[in-house]
Chains A and B, each alone.
Chain A
Amino acid sequence: MSIVDTRTPDPKRFIAGATGDWEIIVGMEVHAQVVSKAKLFSGASAEYGADPNEHVSLVDAAMPGMLPVINEECVRQAIRTGLGLKAQINPRSVFDRKNYFYPDLPQGYQISQYKDPIVGEGKVIVSVGPDSKGEFEDVEVGIERLHLEQDAGKSVHDQHATMSYVDLNRSGVALMEIVSKPDMRSADEARAFLTKLRTILRYLGTCDGNMDEGSMRADVNVSVRRPGGPFNTRCEIKNVNSIRFVGQAIESEARRQIALIEDGGSVDQETRLFDPVKGETRAMRSKEEAHDYRYFPDPDLLPLEFDEAYVEALAKDLPELPDDKKTRLMQDAGLSAYDASILVSERAIADFFEKVAEGRDAKQAANWVINDLLGALNKSGKGIDETPVSADQLGAILDLIRADTISGKIAKDLFEIVWTEGGDPAEIVERRGMKQVTDTSAIETAVDQVIAANPDKVEQAKAKPTLAGWFVGQVMKATGGKANPQAVNQIVKARLGIE
């Protein structure tokens, strides 16, 4: 593969070394576990968290004579992911054996795709920012390929002094390896890329994106160079399992390489591990002879072929993806780019918003979802799927504001009550007497009482009309916030003779 530099060096991304500026080059290989019930080539369950070796068939344990049979759903999911990455779908691809020995790889080889992957070149648009000026920058990150492969088993090293324990539950689970081009130029861009990729996969439902459970892991390739200069030797940081760690690993690895070169040394191409506790990368212990995987087509599997109609049918059924949804929310609902990008960051949030906004004012709905709902969820460490306030309940609150039944301020209180106690917002307003007072005579009485009690302020207000605000505040206080603020404002001004 020849590397094409698609980016223009930009000083704002440079990092300063002792001898001048440096530019970071990042490419990524992301392993994403395919959402499927069964494994890629066997009928064992792909579900996470079973007891040791319970989700293992004789195929996964590589018993003699067992033959792999591909799971059609995994093929479908890989194609759908390719479509979501705007990538070329290859109607014919080939499974190869990647040979190496490790105790958690009972076959002695991983079935993968080498020369002919199921998905070719695509791209992801990544929004990076906000920078110090609050601006976002769109960066295009190329996708080199996506291929299907088997996951390996899991080795546990801390159970015994001299033995490792091997659990094959993950062995044979379908993975998509998604390889980016080396198009990222900072840790921020790399983080944004991984975040966006995860969002796309979750929208598609092809990977749950759960990095804690290892359903998404990234190998990060990092090198540094003089701005715009030739590419240097890279190091690969293996198996980074959180988006935050990806950022930290890149920063520390880039600094290590710069120090090395500036001291007159050079970077060795090697595989490294990120230590989250120390916040730095270290070389993996064994430096065996260069890997020689001796790829060759797996004689147990025919080439994977499908026709265009199959791909077209999948394309037609694709859900609306975050970029399209964002554009639609900006154009049709008039939302700002910032609001729209927050709402589309998770499909569940977007769905929630759209349900609230249905038949209502979109901007108001967006404000409530972003500021009040997401704010409260953040504070309590809950995800959108655990929200105590449903879209219907929030919608009902907005309806009460719109009908002038409650003021915006009371609505915040109402939201709190629904959040902690649940219930039907309209019924709560009725029962607790939170209704806004729109009855003019009741407001007039309250205004008159405040005026009568404060003759000195009335005098001052004649010279200084802005004092009307003080009267409005007093009336709101006297009515427990239930008076309609606009009505109070009008009546106060009329009574004080201010216009």
Chain B
Amino acid sequence: MSVDIDTVRRVARLARIAVTEAEAEAMQGELNAILGFVQQLDEVDVSGVEPMTSVTPMTMKKRQDKVTSGNIADDIVANSPATEDHFFMVPKVVE
């Protein structure tokens, strides 16, 4: 499996990473090297093997239906570049 330059551009766009044309070319080589490395796993026959979800057998932890946090609006918006009345403010996005 290898990626072409268009796929590199598309993946960058989906991840919202700005990539110049020169960078895209370099990245295509890097990505293909990584994919080639991972591709070695294809040599193992895993037909009929359940995908592993955990190293140790365990069941998912669950929480009780109790309100245990909240009312920390000051903290929540503390890192926001712009806020008003505890709202985050972001450049306008209208659909």
Chain A contacts to B: CB under 8 angstroms: 36-38, 42-45, 51-59, 61, 69-75, 99, 101-103, 155-157, 159-168, 273, 284-286, 289, 292, 294, 297, 301-305
Number of residues of chain B lying within 8 A (CB) of chain A: 38
A70 and B73 alpha carbons, distance in the complex (Å): 23
Does B47 have its Cβ within 8 Å of any Cβ on chain A?
no
Given A54-B70, A54-B71, A303-B53, answer yes or no on A163-B82 (Cβ-Cβ < 8 Å): yes
User: Is the beta-carbon distance between A305 and B76 smaller than 8 angstroms?
Assistant: no
Does B43 have its Cβ within 8 Å of any Cβ on chain A?
no
Number of A-B contacts (CB under 8 A): 134
Instruction: Fill in one digit per residue for B56-92: 1 if any A CB lies within 8 Å of its CB, else 0.
Output: 0011111111111111110111000010111111111
User: Is the beta-carbon distance between B65 and A72 smaller than 8 angstroms?
Assistant: yes
Does B41 have its Cβ within 8 Å of any Cβ on chain A?
no
- Residues of A contacting B88 with CB < 8 Å? 53, 103, 165-168
- Residues of B contacting A57 with CB < 8 Å? 68-70, 72
- Residues of B contacting A54 with CB < 8 Å? 70-71, 73, 86
Main secondary structure on A side of the interface with B: loop
User: Is the beta-carbon distance between A166 and B87 smaller than 8 angstroms?
Assistant: yes
Q: Which of B10, B63, B73 contacts A56 (CB 8 A)?
A: B73
Q: Give the Cβ gap from A325 to chain B, nearest Cβ, in Å.
A: 28
User: Is the beta-carbon distance between A44 and B67 smaller than 8 angstroms?
Assistant: yes
User: Is the beta-carbon distance between B67 and A45 smaller than 8 angstroms?
Assistant: yes
A168 and B80 alpha carbons, distance in the complex (Å): 13
Given A51-B73, A163-B82, answer yes or no on A72-B93 (Cβ-Cβ < 8 Å): no
Given A37-B67, A44-B70, A54-B71, answer yes or no on A164-B90 (Cβ-Cβ < 8 Å): yes
- Residues of B contacting A301 with CB < 8 Å? 60
User: Is the beta-carbon distance between B62 and A71 smaller than 8 angstroms?
Assistant: yes
A160 and B69 alpha carbons, distance in the complex (Å): 30
User: Is the beta-carbon distance between A72 and B63 smaller than 8 angstroms?
Assistant: yes
Given A44-B70, A52-B87, A163-B91, answer yes or no on A305-B59 (Cβ-Cβ < 8 Å): yes
User: Is the beta-carbon distance between A38 and B66 smaller than 8 angstroms?
Assistant: yes
A210 and B13 alpha carbons, distance in the complex (Å): 38
- Residues of B contacting A161 with CB < 8 Å? 92
What is the chain A residue whose CB lies nearest that of B61?
A: A69
Task: For chain B, residues 44 to 61, give those with C-beta under 8 angstroms from any C-beta of chain A.
Answer: 53-54, 58-61
